[in-house]
Structure 1
Amino acid sequence: MRTLSSRAALAADPAVGAGNVLARVLAGGADPDGPGLIFDTAVDGFPAEHPLTLRELDERVDARAAWLHAQGVKPRDPIAIWTGTAADHILGYLALTRLGAIPALINGNLAADIVAEYIRRLRAVGVLADAAHLELLRPHDLGTPILGDTAAIAEADPADAPAPYRHHQDDPVVITHTSGTTGIPKSVLHTHSSLFAATRHLLTMPQAQGTGRILNALPAPHTATVLMMNQALGNRAEFFALSSQAGEVVLDAIQRWKPQSVFGFSVTWAELARQDLSAYDLSSVRLWFNTGDCTHEPHVRKLVAQGNRDSMTREGVVRTAGSHFIDGLGSSEMGHSMFHVTHRVDTDTYGRCIGKPYKFVDVAVLNLDGTELGTGEVGHLGIKSPTLSPGYWNDSGTTYRFRLNGYYLTGDLVYRDADGRFFHLDRAADSTDGFYTAQAEERVLVACPDVADCTAVIVNENGQVITDVLLELGPGADPALDRTEVIRAALGAELGATLRKVEVSADIPKGATGKVRKVALRERQLIS
């Protein structure tokens, strides 16, 4: 682990940003034989799970940069990458940013017709894909050439790579996308400075416990993986990037690789929580770090009961049973989680608490006329932060639609308590007449321990609010048990009175990252 002064020196480097962390770490005197990155697939002759050193990682990036440069890729060229492996996404990102180009990372689970339309809207200069995804793209008009197979771009000589591009702080460095639960994903732009702003801040602080050996269970093409990879490189930490976020895959990797911390989204924690965790050796884990959507209390409680953490006592630092879970709220557009709250087995700050904002964030709870609301009042979450995306690529209309009174509107409904803690109630699009689906789901899960996960759908049909609750049962749960009255009571008098049905369902539509497509469920609910 690097000393605070070395990390602070990197943070103080005015040239460093999201587009050149690897190069600047090496230029700053990092040991070339120190930790680079680890992938779950073979890379350029190295077997899966081989710990690439910084030198090996740098050479693999240069090889790809040389190939892309020979194909005529230039600074500011948007290049789409659609693949199924973390290695292809991350190495492609590093190589393209080394040239000053703009990688547009696309989740490999999206449908081909959606990807084709997304690429057309990007007006990309070219496309890279692995063999399986290339085959899916062949029937579609992309409006741009396919540059090649991601396997081929590693074959060039690293010595042929041009000198690394010198980024300006405002230069675009990556385009990621939203989950696409409402249709074609929105393309989110990040700059050299915006996507490094949170990392720069964190590098000036003591390194968090458990961040020396990280298992990344975040989707590789997501903003969060780019962030966490750059943080790991800056911290000189070991970083193992998984290509799948499936619960059993993550648990197997924890048991085999023994990470100190695991980074992921709430959908992965839900999958982990429905497993028999006692069947796995999770003793190495000190920290679970969540970003994206807030995580439900029952899922957190199951995870913090696992692993170990260091605690300060009168006798000094001792190992204590049970891990930390850092929750919050983030999105591609936010550029980093905006809030943080830490859960342990002995804490009880739940009720969809997302904690307090990071110091670099200015937060407001707003009415849609821009008026700021006070303590306890529910409103729209507004954010000002140096981490924010400057907007949606090729879509200024949508960019400005989400701006109000100088704030970016995240699409979330929240309130603040008297202690300055924030609580997340729902996505605004999923809320109906002051009733909140995310809050309802949390209440159901707390009331029904045999339910592994649930989805609440609330609609207003001809002036009448109707609520349906779809259940995903845990192991051993009785599918014939009528839980309606328990759930009605858990929802509370007002929302409980709107409950139409409780259904055990495996037919829950989900997007590429595993998020439930509630817009599809609302449409289905209105015609049922």
Structure 2
Amino acid sequence: MKSLRARLAADPEIGTGNVLHRVIAHGADLDGPGLTFDTPVDHYPAEHPLTLGELDERVQARTAWLHEHGIGRRDVVAIWATDAADIVLSFLALTRRGAIPALMNGKMAPPIADEYIRRLRVTAVLADAAHRPLLQTEVLAEPHELGTGDPAKAPEHYRHHADDPVVITHTSGTTGVPKAVLHSHTTLYAALKHLLTMPQAQGTDRILNALPIPHTATVLMVNQVLGNRAQMLLLSSQDAPDVLRQIERWKPRAVYGFAVTWAGLAREDLSKHDLDSVRMWFNTGDCAHEPHIRKLVAVGTRETVTRAGRTTVKGSHFVDGLGSSEMGHNGFHITHTIDSDHYGRCIGKPYQFATAAVLSSTGDELPAGKVGLLGFRSPSVSPGYWNDSVNTYRFRLNGWFLTGDLAYRDDSGHYFHLDRIPDAVAGFEGPQLFTSMSEERILAAIPEVVDCTVVILNQDGRYVADVLLELTPDAENVDRTAAVKAAVGEDVAAIIRKVGAVGAEEVPVTVTGKVRKVALREERLTGADA
């Protein structure tokens, strides 16, 4: 008899909208793992490990509530909340009704949240007690109220077609109102179907989810752990101290997060914490910086095979790559250990279900070593932006989805990330000035720098660069301009105007922790940073 994972991989009906339902239909043990949340779920206390049956019953209650309040097929329902349970359980119930949940990050500014909701043209809004009074938009209910429904009155699960829209997530909003990214029943599950046919990665039986909860990545993780019959604790906060505390308490074997979380962990003295349970760190979104990775792979443990057999050794794995909401899953992957030396913003090779290319401005594929636009093809790619055909087609070129990144490929097929297009000065001819690669070089060269931001702008007809350094608490108060210029290379060194130390709170970030370089450029152009 095929294993459950094999049956799920072969199931023509399974997709993002019905994973919980299909896992149960294929005979998964109802007393097996469901999900664990860091806040109470109805009558269950915080961190109670919901069984699969308990999870299904709580989702059925919410489905009944939605049905009684007229929410059904194709209704777009925005969810603005902080607690992981509010967002994930609402998502599962809404997809069971055939509705389209639109997940919103709780850190979004209220005026932007109202405008984002307006652009979605929603049927209803669910907002928790903290966010409800911040909205001008009418709110149907708080997410926890859905748990008062009678699970016995839940209607049958909506039957999804392959192309049905099932969830809307949003981009980081580095330039203002985030773009609303649509995912269909099959696109967001395509990568997971492939992974179900592969051996499970080391550590993925017990996962700490430190990804932003309303992000595409968390939707993927919920569906992945349900299919793998694994345990997962979902954190409502991704701040480094909270993540460290939960690693020590809950003893995960894998931790999933964004680059901002790894930067936060790297600021801590990890030797003072018990991190031996961690076998793997998994990064998605922006690729991570080498010094942050090196600090993480130095802790934890991993299993390896020697002549004496399987043994556990000091040091963990770090799986890096590059992903985005639009890509539907990490598109690239590379694994680091203590012994790794393949850094320099290497994002590895595409997954087997995907293809990539470095493109010219006309969509022609460029040869190895040539910098260009990163193009991506995969069955996981989003169909487009909700209610926004202009941007949907702006990011398509000659059959490729444009990720918005500048990259190059080496002769071995490994891809290297240089910068986001809006943050760089890099045409196919002329100056090649990259902020992300400059930050990578500074971090690798100057040990007392724990994080940094490089901003390039055109001022009075010439390019200038400002460098903001976040330093260790014991760092000396000295001028580091010479060291920075030596690290970044001649082209960027020639335009550096200012190098200064800043606190982390002085660097504006998006709701997912990405630096808002557009805001920093505007400050400098208007003189607001003086």
Q: TM-score range by the shorter chain?
A: over 0.9
Q: CA deviation at 1:6?
A: 2.3
> What is the aligned partner in structure 2 of residue 508 from structure 1?
507
Shift of 1:184: 0.2
Q: Where in structure 2 are the equivalents of 1:75-90 lying within 5 Å?
A: 75-90=73-88
3-state SS, counterpart of residue 148 of structure 1: coil
Asked if 1:496 corresponds to 2:489, the answer is no
1:208–1:4 Cα change, 3 Å: farther
Contact 1:194–1:335 (Cα < 8 Å) also in 2: yes
1:484 to 478, 481, 490: 481
Residues 1:246 and 2:244 aligned together: no
**Aligned position for 2:428:** none
**1:4 Cα deviation from its structure 2 partner:** 7.7
**Conservation of the 8 A alpha-carbon contact between 2:432 and 2:491:** no
Aligned residue for 2:267?
274
How many Å apart are 1:397 and its aligned residue?
0.8
Match in the other structure for 2:276: 283
Decide whether aligned partners of structure 1 residues 525 and 347 sit closer, same or farther in structure 2, where only a CA change above 3 A counts.
same
Pairwise CA distance, 1:482: 1.3
Aligned partner of 1:253: which letter?
Q
Offset, 1:496: 0.8
SS at match of 2:328: coil
Q: Partner of 1:399 in structure 2?
A: 392
Matched, 1:161 2:154: yes
The answer (yes or no) to whether the contact 1:4–1:206 under 8 Å persists in 2 is no
Residue in 2 that maps onto 1:107 = 105
Taking structure 2 as the reference length, what is the TM-score of the superposition? Answer: 0.97
In 2, the alpha carbon distance for the partners of 1:494 and 1:388 equals 35
In the TM superposition, 1:407-426 aligns within 5 A as 407-426=400-419
Counterpart of 1:50 in structure 2 is 48
Q: 1:246 Cα deviation (Å)?
A: 0.2
Distance 2:235 2:94 in 1: 21
Q: State yes or no: 1:232 paired with 2:188.
A: no
Q: 1:473 is matched with which residue? A: 471
Distance apart, 1:462 and its partner CA: 2.9
Counterpart position of 2:517:
518
1:24 corresponding residue in structure 2: 22
Maintained 8 Å contact 2:4/2:28: no
1:70-117 deviation digits (Å, cap 9, x = unpaired): 110011111000001110010000000000100000000001110000
Residue in 1 aligned with 2:462?
A: 464
What one-letter code is carried by the residue in structure 1 that aligns with 2:491? Answer: E
Moved more, 290-299 or 456-465: 456-465
Contact 2:39 2:47 in 1 (8 A): yes
Worse-matched range after superposition: 420-429 or 488-497: 488-497
Give the counterpart letter for 1:435 in structure 2.
L
Choose which of 183, 201, 204 in structure 1 pairs with 2:197: 204
Q: Does the residue aligned with 2:452 lie in a helix, a strand or coil? A: strand
Aligned to 1:183: 176
Aligned to 1:5: 3
Alpha-carbon offset, residue 150 of structure 1:
1.3
Q: Deviations over 1:245-284 (max 9, x none)?
A: 1000000000000000000000000000001111110000
Give the structure 2 partner of residue 61 of structure 1.
59
For 1:4 and 1:482, how far apart are their aligned partners in 2?
64
Q: Kindly provide the CA deviation profile for residues 366-393 of structure 1, in whole angstroms up to 9, marking residues without a partner as x.
A: 1111111000000001111100000000
SS class of match (1:272): helix
Q: Which runs of 5+ in 2 are unaligned?
A: 426-430
CA offsets 1:481-510 (integer angstroms, 9 cap, x no match): 211101110011221111111111121111
Q: Kindly indicate whether the alpha-carbon contact (under 8 Å) linking 2:172 and 2:512 is maintained by their aligned counterparts in 1.
A: yes
Task: For residue 527 of structure 1, report the CA deviation from its aligned partner.
Answer: 2.7
Q: Distance in 2 between matches of 1:7 and 1:315?
A: 31
RMSD: 1.0
Q: Which has the higher mean CA deviation after the structures are superposed, 119-128 or 460-469?
A: 460-469
Per-residue deviation, residues 227-249 of structure 1 (Å, max 9, x unmatched)? 01111100000011000010000
Offset of residue 5 of structure 1? 3.0
Query: Partners of 1:128 and 1:476 in 2: how far apart?
Result: 46
Q: Distance in 2 between matches of 1:485 and 1:417?
A: 31
Residue 134 of structure 2 corresponds to 136
Output the CA distance in 1 between the equivalents of 2:207 and 2:473: 29
Aligned pairs, number: 520
Supply the AA of the counterpart residue of 1:455: T
Q: Find the counterpart in structure 2 of residue 122 from structure 1.
A: 120
The secondary structure found in structure 1 opposite 2:188 is: coil
1:222 aligned residue: 215
Tell me which stretches of 4 or more aligned residues in structure 1 moved more than 6 Å: none
Question: In the TM superposition, what whole-angstrom CA distance separates every residue of 1:7-42 from its partner, at most 9, and x where no partner exists?
Answer: 111111001000111111111111000000000001
Rounded Cα–Cα distance in structure 2 between residues aligned with 1:34 and 1:439: 45
Asked whether the 8 Å contact 1:274–1:475 carries over to 2, the reply is: no
* Alignment of structure 1 residues 233-382 onto 2, 5 Å: 233-382=226-375
Asked if the contact 1:34/1:54 (under 8 Å) is kept, the reply is yes
Mean CA deviation greater in 495-504 or 114-123: 495-504
Is the Cα–Cα contact under 8 Å of residues 246 and 268 in structure 1 kept in the other structure?
Answer: yes
Paired position in structure 2 for 1:37: 35
SS at match of 1:196: helix
Equivalent position amino acid for 1:73 in 2:
I
Amino acid at match of 2:294: R
What secondary structure does 1:62 align onto? helix
Equivalent AA in structure 2 for residue 196 of structure 1? Y
